[in-house]
Amino acid sequence: MADRYWGKLEFPAALIDAEVTEALQEEGVEMDKLDPSEHADDYAWIEDGIFTLENSEARYGCWEDLENLLRLKGIPFDRESSGYYEFIPERVIFRPSNNGTPPQDLVFLLCDGEIIVEVEKIRNLLAQGAEAVTAYLDDQFPPYPPLGDYVKEG
């Protein structure tokens, strides 16, 4: 099935409310079976305060409706999906707005799990100096807080 391939979605478990629970259940998640010791492919679990959903046959390697709900509710998430023929592997990072900063909704193309950087672009920028490269990287690959920063202790 060319429209179904591996994807993994992670977000802070403490931010799961009734609406998110309902959306997860629609994806087949059994909310009473989230033990990380039972982790296997195509499973959901909570570990270190992070909810993880992994599925080897996710539609286009993502959960479009669930991801849109998380964005709407301002819930930070990371999603990674494998590629399949014309679909390139990608990593999606969403971080909600914070103290007046705009939300970050980043999509990175991947190769072997690493973010793809255009070598020719970097070479051209190097001719302009290190500052040009730094500005490009800051613009195209901005830093973002890890999901663990959204996990509350206690």
* DSSP class per residue in 76-117: -EEEEE--BTTBPPEEEEEE--BTTBPPEEEEEEEETTEE--
**Which residue segment(s) compose the domain that 88 sits in?**
4-111
pLDDT of 83 > 90? The answer is no
SS3 (DSSP) at 127: coil
Q: How confident is the model at residue 154 (pLDDT cuts 50, 70, 90)?
A: very low
Long-range contacts of 44-51 (CB under 8 A, 24+ apart): 46/13, 48/148, 48/151, 49/12, 49/13, 49/14, 49/148, 49/151, 49/152, 50/10, 50/11, 50/12, 50/13, 50/147, 50/148, 50/151, 51/10, 51/11, 51/12, 51/13, 51/16
**Predicted structure pTM score:** 0.85
pLDDT of 34 > 90? The answer is no
Is 120 a member of any domain? no
Residue predicted with more confidence, 86 or 141: 141
Is 116 a member of any domain? no
Is 96 a member of any domain? yes
CA distance 6 to 22: 22
Is 136 a member of any domain? no
pLDDT of 126 > 70? The answer is yes
Q: Identify the pLDDT of residue 2.
A: 66
Residue predicted with more confidence, 154 or 3: 3
Domain count, the chain: 1
Is 128 a member of any domain? no
Average pLDDT over residues 33-42: 73
pLDDT of 1 > 60? The answer is no
pLDDT of 115 > 90? The answer is no
Contact 87, 36 (CB under 8 A): no
Is 130 a member of any domain? no
Which range (11-25, 51-65, 101-115) has the least confidence? 101-115
pLDDT of 68 > 80? The answer is yes
Which range (49-63, 99-113, 138-152) has the least confidence? 99-113
CA distance 77 to 66: 11
Is 40 a member of any domain? yes
Is 145 a member of any domain? no
Q: How confident is the model at residue 41 (pLDDT cuts 50, 70, 90)?
A: low
